[in-house]
Structure 1
Amino acid sequence: MTRPLRIGIWALVHGNRAALHDPQEPYDASWRRNRALILEAEQLGYDCVLVAQHTMNPHKPDLDQLETWTACAALAAETKRIELIAAIKPMLYHPVVLAKMATQIHEISDGRFAINLVNAWNRKEIEDAGLEFREHDERYAYGGEWLSIVERLMRGEEVQHDGRYFNVHNYMLRPAGHRPRPTIYVGGESGPARDLVAAQADVWFINGQPLEAVQALIADVRSRPRPADLPPARFGLSTFVIARETEAEAQEEFQRLFELAKEDAEIKAYVKANTDPAVAMRKTQAKYQTVGTNGGTAAGTVGSYEQVAERLAAFHAAGIDTLLTQFQPFEPEMRRFAQHVVPRLRAMGAVQPAMAAE
């Protein structure tokens, strides 16, 4: 049975998603803005929010950067329905400490909390903190062992672990175990990332790209060995949406953002210099002319309201059941999507009844 399509947003943890110098969206990565954004998204019916993790701004070191885990703890107390997905880079937190934080936020939110494991691409962020930035495949080995400890602790199990990277003896966390543990999302598209998804993840987040590429990625992960006690893996997709009454209007807005993004050449050079060249996400995104992050508009979500709804319904039919949307300027475009695209998806039978705007 196909699950309904859940639609979420990216929190603006480091500001604008498409172009930094946009007169329609002045830079603002503050807690105040993100709080208001997420509360409005919940009111509009969005199902989840991904709060990406960076300790320093990855685009420019003198720009503000929202902290993920403290923000999610606050949001857990202020929201009522929306799922809060906190990204985590295993190199930044010992698994025992992170599992304790996760179980506490899960408790505060009444079970609406999830984690998104990302094995880090920003070398500067790790090394400048005096931490070891392990090479690509080893990061996934480290992350897999890290996650195996966190998952058991979040379930309430007493953990005894002697491994390559961690030694944890007779550890048990409370409160835990009286409700299903937080959902585990995993990002990354390399071979080791896909192995980790198949072995340990509930949901795989795929960066935006054309339907045929996404279908191939889903088929690949479904073909990999998976523990018998885990349900089938589920799949999410990130995409930057530009939807208008007509395709011509949407393309005009795409060109506006594309030209503005050229002004960020220095920032993009800074990001590239700090990015591990082995990261699959960067190689994938380089194939397409896009705006936005994590694949941006490469999934083809630029067009009329009807066209965008049809493309998203096609991804849903291919196996995507969680959609993470980006917009710019974010708030008015988030409202536009809820008002004009979601009703069309609902008419197609793709979205949950909760995801419906007035």
Structure 2
Amino acid sequence: MTTRPLRFGIWALVHGSRAAYQDPEEPYDASWERNRDLVLKAEALGYDSTLIAQHTINPHQEDLDQLEAWSAAAAIAALTSRIEIIAAIKPYLYHPVVLAKLALGIENISRGRFAINLVNAWNRPELDKAGIGFAEHDARYAYGREWITVVSRLMQGERLTYKGEHFDVRDYLLRPISLYRDRPLIYVGGESEPARALVADHGDVWFINGQPLEDVAGLIADVAARPRTAAPLRFGLSAFVIARETQAEAEAAYERLLELSRRDAPIKAIQKQNTDPKVVMMQTMQKSARVGSNGGTAAGLVGSYDQVAARIQAFHQAGIELFMLQFQPFEAEMERFAKEIIPRVRATSVANQKPLLASAR
């Protein structure tokens, strides 16, 4: 069990709806204006974090809009005052020296609320069509390991000379470094063996894709047992939430979204064709029917308000600190979660702590 308090975050809608594109209750909208308003509302509702996924072209259908992650992160940093801003990064798209400078800039704009989410790419056309090339799975992780080594050391203010297979950095120094802490946090995604080794060596937080509690507990146990020289690793989980007053209402809402998502079959076929089959995320997502991306409803957060709150507590007991959430229609369901679920979870957490406080006396 983690002793850290629970945190709740939202996925920014960088490529529109997370469950189904043909939903009359949520027309497609990946605009800057919508994402700006969404994050500002999330902050006002008490959410702790937002994740801005990085894609240069839409991963589902190339003629659909796609928000650019890093310019959006900088703008959101200037507009918000409390919420953590996590921008995803695919190492092949940015030289590590340039990325470290961007990260430090947003870190100081946000006054110490910025983080990067290292992902080693699964969407082949994004790199192939740019002439960058799409390396084999384990080679991408080897590149990412070298890349994050350079980025991390530069973000900490080190004068760096580094010679590796991919990078030759000579006497490089970045200023200003973070004015608020040692460096921005590093989140790492991916569940393959190279990904687990990478996060154990270089990550602060491991993002796990939505899946059943017993599977998540096994993943946490594996990575938490690996040797580290840094502070203990923290854990986050992606999940799509469908919560209602009753379980029957929640299941009906789930079936509605599941049926709508079937209309996106041509888009999903394109995504499957463009995806590296060795990516564990995609293998996990195909185990069962689900709604949402990055595992979605496979985490089981579908049910009555009390059921969903209890399942969140069970994940927290297993070690999950941060829940990065998806909804649809996003704004209305995000507000429902803040009103109905977060207070239940907080109340349960306080109740569970009272015997510990009493025994301490």
Instruction: Please give the range of the TM-score, normalised by the shorter of the 2 chains.
Output: over 0.9
Candidates 200, 204, 207, aligned match of 1:205: 207
Whether 2:225 is the aligned partner of 1:223: answer yes
Give 1:214's match in structure 2, choosing from 216, 221, 231: 216
- Partner SS state of residue 348, structure 1: helix
Distance in 1 separating the partners of 2:225 and 2:205: 15
Q: Conserved in 1, the CA contact under 8 Å of 2:178 and 2:184?
A: no
Equivalent AA in structure 2 for residue 10 of structure 1: W
Is the 2:55–2:66 Cα contact (8 Å) retained in structure 1?
yes
Instruction: Flag structure 1 segments of 5+ consecutive residues without an equivalent.
Output: 352-358
SS in 2 for 1:160: strand
Whether the 8 Å contact between 2:292 and 2:326 is mirrored in structure 1 is yes
Q: Is the 8 A contact 2:141 2:194 kept in 1?
A: yes
Alignment partner of 1:110 is 2:111: yes
The count of corresponding residues between Structure 1 and Structure 2 is 349
The corresponding residue for 2:359 is none
Match of 1:24 in 2: 25
Determine helix, strand or coil for the equivalent of 1:23: coil
Amino acid at match of 1:198: A
Asked if 1:39 corresponds to 2:40, the answer is: yes
**Cα deviations by residue, 1:230-287 (Å, 9 ceiling, x for unpaired):** 0011100000000000000000000000000000000000000000001000001111
**SS state of the match for residue 151, structure 1?**
helix
Equivalents in 2 of 1:36, 1:15: separation in Å?
14
1:151-170 equivalences in 2 (<5 Å) = 151-170=152-171
CA offsets 1:136-185 (integer angstroms, 9 cap, x no match): 00111100100000001111111100001100000010110543200000
Partner of 2:71: 70
Give the partner amino acid of 1:341.
Answer: I
Identical counterparts, % of pairs = 65
1:320-342 CA distances to partner (integer Å, 9 max, x unpaired)? 00110000000000000000001
- 1:225 deviates by 2.6
Report if aligned partners of 2:53, 2:88 keep a CA contact under 8 Å in 1.
Answer: yes
AA of the residue aligned to 2:41: E
Pairs within 5 Å for 1:214-293: 214-226=216-228, 228=229, 230-293=230-293
Return the offset for 1:132. 1.8
| 1:10/1:326 contact within 8 Å kept | yes
8 Å contact from structure 1 (residues 239, 296) kept in 2: yes
The superposition leaves residues 179-204 of structure 1 with CA deviations (integer Å, 9 ceiling, x where unpaired) of 32000000000000000011110000
Matched residue type, 1:192: P
Q: Deviations over 1:42-79 (max 9, x none)?
A: 00000000000000000110000000000011111100
Contact persistence 1:4–1:350 (CA under 8 A): no
Does the 8 A contact of 1:19 with 1:261 survive in 2?
yes
CA contact (8 A) 1:37 1:331 kept: yes
Moved more, 216-225 or 304-313: 216-225
Relative distance call for 1:177 and 1:42 in structure 2 (3 A) is closer
* Alignment-derived partner of residue 347 in structure 2: 347
Could you tell me which residue of structure 1 aligns to residue 186 of structure 2?
A: 184
Contact 1:5 1:350 in 2 (8 A): no
In the other structure, the counterpart of 1:295 is 295
Query: Cα–Cα, structure 1 residues 350 and 258, in superposed 2: closer, same or farther, change >3 Å?
Result: farther
Please say if 1:174 is aligned against 2:175: yes
Distance between the aligned counterparts of 1:92 and 1:206, measured in 2? 23
Tell me what 1:15 maps to. 16
> Separation in 2 of the partners of 1:177 and 1:39?
24
CA drift at 1:224: 2.0
Pairwise CA RMSD: 1.0
Runs of 4+ aligned structure 1 residues displaced above 6 Å come to none
1:274 maps to amino acid: N
- What is the deviation of 1:350? 7.0
* TM-score normalised per structure 2: 0.96
Change in CA separation of 1:22 and 1:85 when aligned onto 2, cut-off 3 Å: same
Q: Which consecutive residues of structure 2, in runs of 5 or more, have no partner in the other structure? A: 352-361
SS across alignment from 1:231: coil
TM-score of the pair, normalised by structure 1: 0.96
Structure 2: distance between partners of 1:111 and 1:180: 10
Distance in 2 separating the partners of 1:93 and 1:147:
11
The residue aligned with 1:98 is 99
Aligned to 2:5: 4
